[in-house]
Structure 1
Amino acid sequence: MSIRLGYQMPNFSYADSTRELFPAVIAQTREAEAAGFDAAFVMDHFYQLPGIGTPDQPMLEAYTALGALATATERIQLSTLVTGNTYRNPPLLAKTVTTLDVVSGGRAVLGIGAGWFELEHLAYGYEFGTFTDRFQRLEEALQIIQPMLHGERPSFDGKWYHTREAINEPRIRDDLPIMLGGSGEKKTFGLAARYADHLNIICGASELPRKIEALHRRCEEVGRDPNTLETSYLALVLTDDDGNRARKQADEFLQQLAAQDPSGPSAEQLREIQGDRQFVGTPDEVAEQIQRRVLDQGVDGVIVNMVANGHEPGVVEQVGKALGPLVHKG
């Protein structure tokens, strides 16, 4: 498994009708595959997230969508960025992602995190609990899921979860990779050092040197070579052949977000909040920013999302051509 270049689709608010929505998702994924992206991702949410849109905007259920994408593609890896652990019983999640692996011919990756969006939990009746609760649950879940992905039959009695010789068949491999996503230098990074094959770091780009240093410490604490844990960074990209148009789109997007919630941050405040995670300009300008702000800081790869125009034909291909040479060296 290697994910040096990934494409995340966090937005489904671009089709004129619901019938046209999934064909547009397939088209983006196929374009990413043809452009050399290693993996395609959807979010595991039920409502659109703050900072992208409003709760009533379209949001597809993740694993149903990934199963359909598996039959519409041939090579690209498929995953969530990332599965909310609180939304599924761990053995069922192991079964779900393993089935995706079978359907896709060995292209599934289990992206997983502790869960954080309280509104979804309250609306759908899932227990939210405390921050500590959610990370305890994630650690217990990983102790069940990891052996199930490896063909073992775990029996587990924890505070949150219980299994009895949980069987996970059929499988086509015993090394389905696990990817953790998040920014927590102690809990998330510690779990990644113990259980994961890949860590997607979600933070401001200026924080990356500290994050990488913290990850190395977590690996050292459990006796793991940090070079065996692949890393990537989630980048918010707004790009166009006309760099000025891309910068204008970035401003318009922030103004739109501010208008959706008059009681929330202003466009200028949002610019300060999101600016450290945004990469804006022509594809070549974005590539230079990714190299300098991310890859040069010791991160192995990048996962991009393009909320404003990723659904427009040709945009994903342009970004793939610009970023591919940076991450697929040698």
Structure 2
Amino acid sequence: MTDPRPVRIGLQLQPQHADYAEIRRTVAAAEEAGVDVVFNWDHFFPLYGEPDGKHFECWTMLGAWAEATSRVEIGALVTCNSYRNPELLADMARTVDHVSGGRLILGIGAGWFERDYDEYGFEFGTKGDRLRDLSRALPRIRDRWAKLNPPPTRDIPLLVGGGGERKTLRYTAEHATIWHGFGDPDTVAHKCSVLDGHCRDIGRDPAEIERSVAVEQAPDELGPRLHELGVRLFTVGQDGQDGYDLGLLKEWIAWRDGLRA
């Protein structure tokens, strides 16, 4: 798939093992360095390192980032659908969209981290249950946006994260603006092919969906290979255990700038 969109670089700033002041400084530094999107994630406890280490809540933080930044897009990679009903989430997203001046991306997924569910009183259920709930939530979110006063400032981009081929990628084809996945280029190529097939099945142009991938290596070889597959949003993850280091992120920004030159 040839995608005319420009390459964008994202940062997933994982809100674990750090004080909020450090998180805020890192968001500012990333924006100054030229990043296009800053994401956090939607968990209540660290995913690795000390399991009871420092951690902050997702959407409260996004509201603060909306005021603390001026250019970058912001969002969760990804919001857990289980933790808020779709109408509430739609309203929260609309509000952050306005606070940020139209810079929110609504990233969403079915949820998977059982400790979050157990300790905060949500029903974990089965993977099938959570995927079914996600499929029902996506149209409800869009329906609520159409009813809100004032409405969102723009058609808020809807990012679906996950690689399940039978359900998640089908829901992505039906509802998403952006698909976010993981894996090496061969895996990404396969997932994109499956997504393209779902788009064709429902009569949607696959080019309408931006392809986004998490990257953990330098861009020298990985960037061109993923770019050739149609990936246009490359997101570097950063953990606060030893302090946030934007070195790899800056390599990806420099690679992006080289393509734009």
TM-score (norm: length of structure 2): 0.90
Aligned to 1:301: 233
The answer as to whether partners of 1:37 and 1:320 remain within 8 angstroms in 2 is: no
Aligned to 1:182: 162
The answer as to whether partners of 1:212 and 1:299 remain within 8 angstroms in 2 is: no
The answer as to whether partners of 1:28 and 1:316 remain within 8 angstroms in 2 is: no
Q: 1:174/1:293 Cα in 2 relative to 1: closer, same or farther (>3 Å)?
A: closer
Q: 1:323/1:11 Cα in 2 relative to 1: closer, same or farther (>3 Å)?
A: farther
Q: How many residues align?
A: 256
Q: Which has the higher relative contact order, 1 or 2, with Cα contacts under 8 A spaced 6 or more apart? A: 2
Aligned to 2:142: 146
How many Å separate the matches in 1 of 2:6 and 2:166? Answer: 24
Aligned to 1:212: 192
1:1-330 alignment, distance < 5 Å: 4-14=8-18, 21-49=19-47, 52-149=48-145, 151=146, 153=147, 168-236=148-216, 279=217, 286-307=218-239, 311-312=244-245, 315=247, 318-325=250-257, 329=260
The answer as to whether partners of 1:5 and 1:324 remain within 8 angstroms in 2 is: yes
For structure 1, list consecutive stretches of 5 or more residues without a partner in the other structure.
15-20, 154-167, 237-278, 280-285
Q: Percent identity?
A: 35
The answer as to whether partners of 1:42 and 1:81 remain within 8 angstroms in 2 is: yes
208-217 or 301-310, larger mean C-alpha shift: 301-310
Q: 1:310/1:232 Cα in 2 relative to 1: closer, same or farther (>3 Å)?
A: farther
Aligned to 1:283: none
| RMSD, aligned CA | 2.2
Q: State the AA in 2 paired with 1:180.
A: V
How many Å separate the matches in 2 of 1:174 and 1:148? Answer: 14
How many Å separate the matches in 1 of 2:231 and 2:187? Answer: 12
- Alpha-carbon shift at residue 317 of structure 1 (Å): 6.3
For structure 2, list consecutive stretches of 5 or more residues without a partner in the other structure.
none
Q: 1:177/1:223 Cα in 2 relative to 1: closer, same or farther (>3 Å)?
A: same
How many Å separate the matches in 2 of 1:321 and 1:111? Answer: 22
How many Å separate the matches in 2 of 1:213 and 1:309? Answer: 38
Q: State the AA in 2 paired with 1:130.
A: T
Q: State the AA in 2 paired with 1:311.
A: Y
Q: State the AA in 2 paired with 1:290.
A: L
The answer as to whether partners of 2:102 and 2:154 remain within 8 angstroms in 1 is: no
- Alpha-carbon shift at residue 23 of structure 1 (Å): 2.0
User: Whose Rg is larger?
Assistant: 1
How many Å separate the matches in 2 of 1:26 and 1:176? Answer: 24
Q: 1:6/1:189 Cα in 2 relative to 1: closer, same or farther (>3 Å)?
A: same
How many Å separate the matches in 1 of 2:7 and 2:142? Answer: 19
Q: State the AA in 2 paired with 1:139.
A: S
- Alpha-carbon shift at residue 209 of structure 1 (Å): 1.5
Q: State the AA in 2 paired with 1:42.
A: N
How many Å separate the matches in 1 of 2:6 and 2:17? Answer: 30
The answer as to whether partners of 1:287 and 1:322 remain within 8 angstroms in 2 is: no
CA deviation string 1:147-171 (max 9, x = no partner): 222x2x3xxxxxxxxxxxxxx2333
- Alpha-carbon shift at residue 31 of structure 1 (Å): 1.9
The answer as to whether partners of 2:236 and 2:249 remain within 8 angstroms in 1 is: no
How many Å separate the matches in 1 of 2:32 and 2:224? Answer: 26
